[in-house]
Amino acid sequence: MTAQDVRDELVRVAALVDLGRAGEARARLIALLAAEPENAAALRLLARCHNILGDHEEAVRVARTAVAADPASEHSQRILASALNAAGNHWAATAAAREAVRLAPNVWMCHWLLADCLRHSDPRAALESVIQARTLAPYEADVHVLYGVVVKQLGRTEEARHAYLHALSINPNQATAHNNLAVLDRLERKWMRALAGFRTSLRHNPQQKLAKDNLSATIVVLLKRFCVGAYLCALGVLVAAGVIDGTALRIAGTAVLATLLLLLLLLVTLTRRNVGHFATAVMRTDHRAVKTLIATAIPLAFITLGAVVQLIPLHRMDSSIGRSHIQGTGVLPAVAIGLAAASRSRNRRRTK
């Protein structure tokens, strides 16, 4: 293979990586490196492929080999820093990113990467680096996205929103900006808007795991909130059984049950409208969603059997004293425990 053949192959492999075909690119790079084991450009691309495919330890090993093959290259240091950062070794990643900045102080990507490493440990220092990157490359959407991430960490939420919107004004297809805007919408409990934002993010980058995780987590949170409401309604029916007769209890239970079922139908409909079939897939396959739906069935069954059908005796009238006594008081602790378990869920707010 001639030097020109190698260069042409590297161009083709880089195109495969950009198209999201990292597995195919990795196989071709391994074949190329069998002939040229010290080709720094091929090693850098191979490290990127390992990183994309989630093999972070191998990505770090190959990136170190690339640095050894071309120690004066800021690009090799950047690839190493990215691999270390993805592996969770933020201290070592920061050191590699600082070396990249030293080698190429006027390259915006070096400052961007340093900020991305620093934000895990020192957001204020990260802000300085991302501002430097923004100064060098004001028209790069990625810079504004990272600026938004950093200022959000510092509690400046509205500034973060403006940064993401500015990134989208530069590149409307920037998937991470769409994801992070959706996270802000979720923080403000604009649930359907958040779901639509996550779906838009996935439409622009179907391979990204972050938006998929956020989308699934948001659907689960909505189901858990409905579950809490169902337990509260069951508790209300149980309390009402002590003060109303059987006919009134049946009417009240039917109304509560119908309302809950309509709300559940509305939740599923709106979620599918904003997310599509992915919502149904989450409800069928995500273990958190399945457990929540099973937990939700308990208070619905309780209301049906206790108030509507009245197979479970929740009350009796004591004619000697003329007042109701709750026969189902043994069920009350179970309802309370279920309510507490359902309400323990926390909404994980994730950004890039």
How do the pLDDT tens digits run along the chain, 352 residues long? 677 777 878 888 889 888 878 888 899 889 888 888 889 999 999 999 999 888 999 999 999 999 999 999 999 999 999 999 999 999 999 999 999 999 999 999 999 999 999 999 999 999 999 999 999 999 999 999 999 999 999 999 999 999 999 999 999 999 999 999 999 999 999 999 999 999 999 888 887 888 889 999 999 999 999 999 999 999 888 888 888 888 888 899 899 999 999 999 998 888 888 887 888 888 888 899 999 999 999 999 989 988 888 876 665 433 343 344 444 444 544 554 555 555 554 444 445 5
Q: What is the model's pLDDT at position 346?
A: 45
Q: Which residues contact 138 (CB under 8 A, 6 or more apart)?
A: none
pLDDT at 8: 78
| Two tokens, residue 314 | 């929740």
Q: Identify the pLDDT of residue 36.
A: 85
Amino acid 320: pLDDT: 40
Q: State the SS3 of 50-66.
A: HHHCCCHHHHHHHHHHH
pLDDT number for residue 318 = 39
In sequence order, which residues have a C-beta less than 8 Å from that of residue 36 and are 6 or more positions away? 1, 6, 42
CATH of domain 1-102: 1.25.40.10
For 257, the 3-state DSSP assignment is helix
Give the pLDDT score at 344.
53
- The pLDDT, as a whole number, for residue 9 is 84
Residue 319 CB-density burial (10 A; 0-12 exposed, 13-18 middle, 19+ buried): exposed
Numbered ranges of CATH 1.25.40.10 in the chain: 1-102
Q: Give this prediction's pTM.
A: 0.79
Predicted local distance difference test score (pLDDT) of residue 339: 52
Composition of the chain by helix, strand, coil, percent to 5: 80, 0, 20
Q: In the prediction, which pLDDT does 193 show? A: 92
